Structures are given as C-alpha cells and as structure tokens.
C-alpha cells in the first residue's frame, strides 16, 4: 500500500494577505478542492491511501466533501493533553486536543513536521534550553494522545544542515523517543531532509533518500516511509523507483509564478508516482 498526503498550509489565508489559495473563497476551499481531486483518484483506491491535512476552520467542510470518496481528512497536529470524562474538561485555550480532531471527523494527524519542531525548539530556546530530546518527548505525548482517540499518525523526522554529520543519530533519536510506546500499526513515517528544503537549496538525491529510508526501517521496523521533503512533479518518478519509499507528502504543486496547489497538477504528480510503482 502506498500513502500520499497533502498538507494545506496557509490555505485559510486570502492571497492578498500572503496566503496561497487562488482557487476559491477560503471558507469553501476544501469543499471546492476535494470534488476536483477525488474522482480521478478512485482508480488507485485499492493501492494507495490518500489523506489531506487541512487547517481546523476548513475541516468540517472537508469531511463533508470527502464522505464516500477515497480521500481521508486529517488535522495539523494535536495538543499533548486531552480532555477526559470526569477529569480535565479541556482547559487548553488555543490548542486542539485529539478529542476535538476526532469529533470534527478527522481520521489522521500530522505530527512532528519540521515547522512544528522549529516552533517547539524556539520556545525551549527562549527559556535557555537547547536539548533537542525534549522536543521529541513532547511530540511523543502528541502521538500517544492522537492514538488514544483512534487517529492514525503521520510522524515526521529529519535533520537540519547543522546536523548532517550526525544525521543517523538525530533521526534515530527522533524515532526512538518520539514513537516510544506508540502503536506502530497506525503510524507512517515522513522523512523531511530539512537541509534541502526551500529556495536555493539542493534537493536530496536518490542515494541519500534511500540511505535514510533504510535506516528508518532498520530502527523502527516494517513501517511505511514516505518522502516528506516534497513529492512533486520533478521527483515523483525518481521517488517511485526507491523500494524503501512508500509514498510522499505534498504541500504545493507550483513553486513559481502563482504558487499554490492546483488539482490537475496534483493528479499528475500522483499518476507519475503511482505509474512508477506499478512498473
């Protein structure tokens, strides 16, 4: 089974305010996108899991639009604590507990994305703490909270440019601490080579990605590994040729001009990747 994810970042922000949604009003975005994508993905239903992670404000309409289709809906992380009957009634202002994600209709959650890791590292640094193990410990609480509500987890790992000399120990630590006590049967790992993501940076090559994917599977076992550095038209065929890679994470489909996510381009990426896997 292959796994292809989409992480809709800043699609709840109008383009004139810096967002990247140029297709519809933000309130109708998910209900516009899903009907354009789902019918063309149906032929892969038995061989690929499709999950789309939306900002919380767009989740209800996304769940409604995806009902009966091959697309599942997820959210962008959960809080490390949750509500409990007869216990904490949910005093987590500004945070999304896993129970809220489940109640909204989500089936999956994205945890440990490099942007989330950066945020937590920055907060710890403000307090004078630079121990990266603490971030993995916090993410572990999020993973366990999500799984306690029956949510599947896409867990991201990856090394920064300052960590290239110790890439293997960094990723091993992220896996061993972040997934401690987790049910691995509902986990997919996304590998994000943080050092190669962004304008002007050299994308990670096939040999490097293969090396890391092999390490992940040697540490954690037969858990699916997807490429989180951006599955795109330019690398879909290459990634599909890597035996240890089981899918990818997409954020945008167009990176120049009117950047953003465009359904036809998304379908082309999926087809390039899946056709490669079927060869």
Report the pLDDT value the prediction gives residue 87, as an integer from 0 to 100: 79
User: Which pLDDT value is given to residue 156?
Assistant: 98
- Nearest 5°: CA angle at 26, between 25 and 31? 85
pLDDT of residue 166: 96
Residue 99 domain boundaries: 2-278
**204: nearest Cα among 168, 230, 175, 179:** 230
* Segment 55-68, tens digit of pLDDT: 999 999 999 999 99
Residue 81 has pLDDT above 80, yes or no: yes
Mean pLDDT, to the nearest integer, of 192-207?
A: 92
CA–CA gap between residue 110 and residue 240 (Å, rounded): 22
CATH number, position 230: 3.20.20.70
- Tell me if residue 242 falls in helix, strand or coil: coil
Q: State the catalytic residues.
A: 113, 192
The b/e string for 210-232 (b: 16+ C-beta within 10 A; e otherwise) is: bebbebbbebbeebbbbbbbbbb
Q: Is the full-model pTM beyond 0.85?
A: yes
pLDDT in tens, 173-199: 999 999 999 999 999 999 999 999 987
pLDDT exceeds 80 at position 36:
yes
How far apart, in Å, are the Cα atoms of 226 and each of 77, 84, 85, 190?
18, 33, 36, 5
Distance CA 190, CA 110 (A): 9
The reported pLDDT for the residue numbered 132 is 85
| Start-to-end C-alpha separation, the chain | 15
Please tell me the total count of domains within the chain: 1
């Amino acid at each position: 089974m292959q796994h292809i994810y989409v992480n809709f970042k800043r699609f709840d922000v109008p383009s004139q305010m810096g967002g990247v949604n140029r297709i519809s009003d933000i309130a109708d975005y998910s209900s516009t996108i899903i009907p354009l994508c789902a019918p063309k993905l149906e032929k892969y239903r038995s061989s690929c899991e499709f999950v789309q992670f939306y900002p919380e404000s767009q989740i209800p309409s996304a769940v409604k639009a995806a009902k009966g289709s091959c697309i599942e809906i997820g959210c962008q992380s959960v809080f490390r604590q949750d509500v409990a009957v007869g216990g904490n009634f949910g005093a987590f202002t500004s945070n999304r507990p896993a129970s809220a994600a489940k109640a909204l209709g989500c089936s999956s959650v994205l945890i440990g994305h490099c942007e989330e890791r950066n945020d937590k590292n920055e907060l710890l640094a403000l307090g004078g703490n630079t121990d990266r193990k603490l971030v993995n410990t916090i993410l572990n609480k999020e993973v366990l909270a999500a799984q306690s509500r029956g949510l599947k987890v896409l867990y991201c790992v990856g090394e920064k440019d300052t960590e290239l000399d110790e890439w293997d120990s960094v990723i091993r630590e992220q896996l061993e601490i972040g997934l401690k006590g987790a049910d691995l049967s509902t986990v997919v790992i996304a590998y994000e080579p943080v050092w190669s993501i962004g304008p002007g940076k050299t994308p990670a090559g096939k040999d490097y990605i293969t090396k890391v994917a092999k390490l992940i599977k040697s540490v954690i076992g037969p858990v699916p590994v997807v490429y989180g550095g951006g599955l795109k038209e330019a690398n879909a065929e290459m990634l599909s040729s890597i035996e240890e890679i089981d899918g990818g994470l997409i954020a945008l489909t167009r990176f120049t001009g009117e950047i953003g996510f465009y359904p036809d381009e998304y379908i082309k990426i999926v087809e390039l990747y899946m056709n490669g896997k079927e060869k």
